[in-house]
Chains A and B, each alone.
Chain A
C-alpha cells in the first residue's frame, strides 16, 4: 500500500506537464462550479434580502393571535427580559418595533383608508432602509410629531411637505383616535400596494394616538443574511413563549419562498449540465494520460507487475491529481469569488434602469458563504473519483502485445 502510494506519487512528477494539465482541468472545474454556485446562491440571498427589506424583515415577533387577526387589540407590551434576551442573540443585528393599524387619512376634501405604522425611525431605517426611499422632505427624528407618507397616497390626498394630514381610527380597546399631523416627508415604496396606503409615524406618538401605551404589533428582527436565520431562530424559539409568537419571512410570505425554490430547481439543472461538462473535461485529460502511457503500462505488466497493483497505482495517481486539483481550485476560487463579491455583475441597460425605478438593486450578487466553496470542492472531487474508474478499467483490459508494439 505504502509502496503503491510512493510509486503513484513519483509517477506524477515523472512527466510534470502531463500532471499539470490534468490538475488544471480539475482546478478549472472547481473554479467554474464555485463561480456558478456563488452566483446562484448570491442572487437568492439578494432576492430574499430585497424582499424582506420591502416590509416584513427576516423575523417578526407578534402577540400569538395577531397574525390570524390583525387588530390593535392583539398587541403586546414587550417585557424587558424579552428584549434583553433578543439583544443577546449575536445573529440578530436589528430589532425594530412597530405598531400598525388601519386609519382613515384625509386632507381637505379627500379621504382614503390607510395603514398607519408607528416606528422607531433609526431602527426601522436599519431594517427596511426607509431613509433611502425618501423622495421629498426629511426623514423622521426620534420624538418628531410629523409623518412620512407613501408617494401614491400623498399624490391622491394632494398632500405636500408641511401640509397637515388628518387621521381618524380606532384605538386600543375601542377608544376613538383622531389627530392632525404635519407631513415631514414623502417616501416611494417599491411595492405598489404599500405605496398606495402607508403612513409612518414616530412610535411614541403613534402609541399615544391609538391610546396603546407601550404596546406593539410586531418586533421586526433582522439578520445579516438568510444563512443566519436558522441559528437565530434556534436561539429565539426557547425565548419566545406564549403569549409571544415568532415568524420567519418565509412563513409570512410562503409564495415568495416557493418562487425562489422553483428558481433554484430550474437553475440546479443548469448546474448539472455544468458538472457533466466538467466531468467530460476531466475524463478526456485522464484518458489521454492513459493512452499516452499504454506502452509503459504494457512493459510493467510484461515484466510481471500484477494488474491489480498497476490499477491501484493508477487509482492513487488520479486521487492525488484530484486532491491537488481541488485544493488548488479552492485556493484559486477565493480571490476570484472575492473579486465578484466586491464587484457584483450589474444588469445591462433597461433592465437595470427599471430595477432601480422599482427600488431593487440592479445587481447579480455573489455569495461568499463557506458552503459555496467546500460543496463544490467535494462535488468535483467525487466527479474525479468517478473518472478515476477509467484508469482502473483500462489497467484490467490492457492488451500487453498491442501496448508493447504501440
Chain B
C-alpha cells in the first residue's frame, strides 16, 4: 500500500522527478564510463608491458638479478623450458641469455642489454615480431644476425644491413667481440626500452660468451589467461625451490602501483560525484515536502500515523534514487560494454597517451566490483538523503498546514 502511494507520488510531477532522475542517471552513466575507460587504459598498459618486456613470470638463478652477474646462469635451462612449455596453463616459455654490455658502430658506441633468444620460443612469449618496422625477425639461416631498434640505429648512425660490433666479457673474464649484421629494426614506442635493448640468436651469443650448452640466464613465461598467473607461480615456486620465480607485479612494481593509484583516485572522484547527487536529492525532497505541506497536513489530519508518513517520504526518495541509479548503472554498463569491443580514438587528446606507452586506440574495461559498490552506494545515498526531508515532513502541525493555500 505505502509502496504504491510513494511510487505514484514520484510520478505525480513528472518534470520534477524527471530532472532528479536524469541527474542521478547522467552522473552515474558518465562516471561509470570514465572509470571503465581508466581501467581500460591501465589494463592496456599492463598487457603491453607484459607482452613486450616483463612477461607474466620470470625465472632466474637467485643471485642473477642483483648485479646481472653472467656467471649466475641456470644450468639445463633449455630442458626446463621444454618441461614448462608442456604445462597446462602455459601459453609459451622462452629461455634467454642476458648480458649488459656494449654495442659499437664505426662512429660511436652505446651501453646496452643484449638478449640471446630462441626465435620460435620467443614468439610465443613476446610480440617483438610485430614491432619490426624494417627487415625481418631473427632466423637461424644467416650467421650472427641482430635486431636493434630504429632509435638506437639512428643513435649509432647505422642502417639495415650494417655491421655492428658487440663487445663483452665472457665467462672466463676475457674481453671478446663479435661482428653482427642488422637484419631488422624494431620500434616499440617506448623510448627507454628501445634505446637499451638489442636481440641476437641464443646460439650466437652462447658461443661468444662460452656458456655451457643448454644453460640460460632467464626463462620468461606467458600464461593463457591473466588469472592463471598466481596458480602457475605457486606451482613453479615449489618445483624450483633453488631458483627465483617472480611474477609481473614484483618485476614491475610501478605498473602494479599505477593500477592501484588510478583505482583509488577514481574511487574518490566517484564518491565526490555521489555526494553531489546526494545533496541534489536532499534539496529536491526538501522542496517536495515544503510544496506538499498542505497535503501532508491533510494526511495527518485524517489519521495517517507519523511512522507511515516518514516511511512514505523515505520510500519516495529511494524510488527516485533507484530509478535514476538503475538507469544510470545500466546505461553506463551498456556504453562501457560497447566500447569494450569498439575502440575509442585517443589520438585527439594529444601525444601524452602515446608517450605514456599507450596505444592511441583504447578499449574500456568494466570494473565489476566497482559497479556493485556504486549500486549499493546509490541505495544508501537514497536512504540517507531521505531522512532529513522525512523528518521535516513530521514537523508539520496539521492544523496550521491545512490553513495554507
Residue of A whose beta carbon sits closest to that of B277: A277
Main secondary structure of the interface of B (DSSP, over half): helix
Which of B14-22, B307-315, B365-373 lines the interface with chain A? B14-22
B255 to chain A, nearest CB (A): 11
* A267 B269 Cβ-Cβ under 8 A: yes
* C-alpha gap A21/B352 in the complex (Å): 44
Q: Which chain B positions have C-beta within 8 A of A28?
A: 276, 279, 283
Given contacts A32-B276, A262-B350, A281-B279, contact A347 B264 (CB under 8 A): yes
Indicate if A270 sits at the interface (CB-CB under 8 A): yes
Tell me whether A295 and B405 are in contact (CB under 8 A). Answer: yes
In the complex, chain A residues 253-304 whose Cβ is within 8 Å of any chain B Cβ: 255, 258-259, 261-262, 265-267, 269-270, 273-274, 276-278, 280-281, 283-285, 287-289, 291-292, 295
Contact residues in B for A288 (Cβ distance below 8 Å):
16, 284, 287-288, 291
Which positions in B face A, CB cutoff 8 Å?
Answer: 13, 15-16, 19-20, 22-23, 26-27, 30-31, 34, 37-38, 66-67, 253-254, 256-257, 260-261, 264-265, 268-269, 272-273, 275-277, 279-280, 283-284, 286-288, 290-291, 349-353, 355-356, 405
Which residues of B lie under 8 Å from residue A21 when comparing CB positions? Answer: 283, 286-287, 290
When distances are taken between beta carbons in the complex, the residues of chain A under 8 Å from B277 are 277, 281
List of B residues within 8 angstroms of A48 by Cβ: none
**What residues on B are CB-neighbors of A22 within 8 Å?**
283
Q: Which residue of A has the minimal Cβ distance to B35?
A: A270
Q: Is the CB of A351 within 8 A of B27?
A: no
Are A273 and B284 interface neighbours, CB within 8 A?
no
The answer on a CB contact under 8 Å between A274 and B284 is no
Given contact pairs A36-B269, A347-B264, A258 touches B355 in the complex (Cβ within 8 A): yes
Tell me the bound Cα distance from A348 to B260 in angstroms.
Answer: 10
In the bound complex, do residue A351 and residue B276 qualify as a contact, i.e. CB atoms below 8 Å apart? no
A235 and B37 CA atoms in complex are apart in Å by: 42
Across the interface, A32 reaches (CB within 8 A) one of B15, B272, B284, namely: B272
Known: A274-B276, A358-B257. A291 touches B16 (CB 8 A): yes
Contacts A/B (CB < 8 Å), 30 sampled: A21-B290, A28-B276, A32-B272, A32-B275, A33-B276, A35-B272, A156-B66, A258-B352, A262-B349, A262-B353, A265-B349, A267-B265, A270-B34, A270-B269, A273-B273, A274-B27, A274-B272, A274-B276, A276-B23, A280-B19, A283-B19, A284-B16, A284-B283, A287-B19, A288-B16, A288-B291, A295-B405, A345-B268, A354-B253, A355-B257
Q: Assuming A281-B20, A288-B287, A292-B287, what are 14 further A-B pairs, CB within 8 angstroms?
A: A25-B283, A39-B272, A262-B349, A262-B353, A273-B26, A274-B276, A277-B273, A277-B277, A280-B23, A281-B279, A284-B20, A291-B16, A348-B264, A351-B257
The one of B19, B265, B349 in contact with A43, judged by C-beta atoms closer than 8 angstroms, is B265
Q: B111: nearest residue on chain A (CB-CB)?
A: A113
Looking at the assembled complex, report how far the CB atom of B345 sits from the nearest CB atom of chain A, in whole angstroms. Answer: 14
* CB of A169 closer than 8 Å to a CB of B: no
The CA of A276 and the CA of B66, in the complex, are separated in Å by 53
- Inter-chain contacts of A350 with B (CB < 8 A): 260
Tally the A-B contacts, defined by beta carbons under 8 Å. 151
Complex Cα gap A288–B256 (Å): 48
A293: nearest residue on chain B (CB-CB)? Answer: B291
- Whether A270 lies near B31 (C-beta < 8 A) is yes
Contact status A17-B290, CB under 8 Å: yes
CB pair A291–B276 under 8 Å, yes or no, is no
A17-45 vs B, Cβ < 8 Å mask (1 yes, 0 no): 11001101100110011011001000100
Residues from chain A with a CB closer than 8 A to the CB of B23 are 276-277, 280-281, 284
Hey, which chain A residues are within 8 Å of B253, CB to CB? 354, 358
**Contact partners of B261 in chain A: CB under 8 A:** 347, 351
Q: A18-B287, A39-B268, A288-B284 are in contact. Are A277 and B13 (CB under 8 A)?
A: no
Nearest B residue (CB) for A24: B283
Number of chain A interface residues as a range: 35 or more
> What distance in Å separates the Cβ of A326 from its nearest Cβ neighbour in chain B?
15
Determine how close the nearest CB of chain B comes to the CB of A366; give it in whole angstroms.
Answer: 11
A72 touches B (CB below 8 Å): no
CA distance A282 to B65 in the complex (A): 60
Given A17-B290, A287-B16, A345-B268, verify A273-B31 contact (CB < 8 Å).
Answer: yes
What is the minimal beta-carbon distance from A45 to any residue of chain B, in angstroms? 15
Q: State the 4 A-B residue pairs at the shortest beta-carbon distance, nearest first.
A: A281-B280, A262-B352, A280-B23, A288-B287
CB-nearest residue of chain B to A270: B269
**A364 in the interface (beta carbon within 8 A):** yes
The answer, yes or no, to whether A309 is at the interface (CB within 8 Å) is no
Which chain B residues lie closer than 8 Å to A270 at the CB level?
31, 34, 269, 273
Q: Is the Cβ of A284 less than 8 Å from the Cβ of B280?
A: yes
Of B30, B37, B279, the residue contacting A273 (CB under 8 A) is B30
By a CB distance below 8 angstroms, the chain A residues around B265 are 43, 267, 364
Contacts of A281 in B (CB 8 A): 20, 23, 276-277, 279-280, 283-284
Do residues B352 and A351 form an inter-chain contact, with CB atoms below 8 A? no
Verify A266–B38 contact, CB threshold 8 A. yes
Residues from chain A with a CB closer than 8 A to the CB of B13 are 291
Question: Which of B26, B272, B356 neighbours the largest number of chain A CB atoms within 10 Å of its CB?
Answer: B272
Would you give the shortest CB distance from A254 to chain B, in whole angstroms?
8
A155 contacts chain B at the CB level, 8 A cutoff:
yes
A191 CB to closest chain B CB (Å) equals 11
> Which residue on A lies nearest to B257, using beta carbons?
A354
Q: Name the distance in Å between B193's Cβ and chain A's nearest Cβ.
A: 13
Contact of A292 among B67, B254, B280, B290 (CB under 8 A): B290
Contact residues in A for B291 (Cβ distance below 8 Å):
288, 291-292
Question: With A and B bound together, what is the CA distance between A54 and B276 in angstroms?
Answer: 37
Choose from B22, B290, B351 the contact partner of A280 (Cβ within 8 Å).
Answer: B22
A347: chain B residues within 8 A (beta carbon): 260-261, 264
Q: Is the CB of B34 within 8 A of A273?
A: yes
Closest to A110 in B: B67
Question: Residue A255 contacts which of B38, B279, B283, B355 (CB distance < 8 angstroms)?
Answer: B355
The answer to whether B34 touches A284 (Cβ under 8 A) is: no
Most chain A CB within a 10 A radius of its CB, from B265, B277, B353:
B265
CA distance A96 to B66 in the complex (A): 33
CB distance from A104 to the nearest CB of B (A): 14
Nearest to B17 among chain A residues (CB) is: A284
CB contacts under 8 Å to B, within A151-210, are 155-156
Chain A residue nearest to B18 in the complex (CB) = A284
Distance between Cα atoms of A156 and B66 in the complex (Å): 8
The docked-state distance in angstroms from the alpha carbon of A283 to that of B288 is 14
Minimum distance in angstroms from A285 CB to a CB of chain B: 5
- Which of B27, B67, B260, B353 makes the CB contact (< 8 A) with A277? B27
Q: Tell whether, in the assembled complex, residue B15 and residue A287 are in contact, meaning their CB atoms are under 8 Å apart.
A: yes
| Pairwise interchain contact B26-A280, C-beta atoms closer than 8 A | yes
Q: Tell me whether A285 and B34 are in contact (CB under 8 A).
A: no
| B30 near A25: Cβ-Cβ < 8 Å | no
Contact B19 A284 (CB under 8 A): yes
**A25 lies within 8 A of B280 (CB):** yes
Q: Do B287 and A358 touch (CB < 8 A)?
A: no
Report Cα–Cα, A348/B267, bound state, in Å. 12
Q: In the complex the two chains form, is B351's CB within 8 Å of A18's CB?
A: no
B84 to chain A, nearest CB (A): 28
Chain A residues with Cβ under 8 A from B34's Cβ?
A: 266, 269-270, 273
CA distance A262 to B356 in the complex (A): 9
